[in-house]
Amino acid sequence: MASIRLDHKNCEGSNCGACAYACPTNVFSFEEDDISVKSPDFCKLCNVCLEVCPQSAITIEKIEIAEIFEGI
Ligand code: SF4
Ligand code: SF4
């Protein structure tokens, strides 16, 4: 699983959308002028969104299953 964060201060939103177009598993979605992380569970950690983002506005952190259970 992955924790995906967008830095909305630097993100160009729907003027860009490169991450949403590039992601093979539709993790991102357009919300009017913004881009949001809609389905982080679908992330395959392929890093394509990181490569296409012109603003380096995306941070992805891998979450190990064990860490999820530790938080319960
Ligand atoms: S790392 Fe790959 S699968 Fe995950 S959000 Fe980015 S483009 Fe999509
Ligand atoms: S690629 Fe980067 S700048 Fe473009 S919409 Fe996605 S997060 Fe925002």
Question: Ligand 1 pocket by C-beta < 6 Å: which residues?
Answer: 4, 22-25, 27, 43-49, 60
Closest residue by CA, ligand 2 atom 1: 53
Q: What is the pLDDT of residue 65?
A: 73
Q: What is the pLDDT of residue 1?
A: 83
Q: What is the DSSP letter of 37?
A: E
Q: How many domains does the chain have?
A: 1
- The domain in which residue 27 lies consists of 2-69
Q: What is the pLDDT of residue 71?
A: 64
Whether residue 64 is predicted with pLDDT greater than 90 in this model: the reply is no
Q: 13, 34 in Cβ contact below 8 A?
A: yes
Q: What is the DSSP letter of 52?
A: H
Q: What is the pLDDT of residue 14?
A: 94
Global pTM value: 0.90
Question: Ligand 2 pocket by C-beta < 6 Å: which residues?
Answer: 6, 11-13, 16-19, 35, 52-55, 57-58
CATH number, residue 14 = 3.30.70.20
pLDDT in tens, 19-49: 999 999 999 999 999 999 999 999 999 999 9
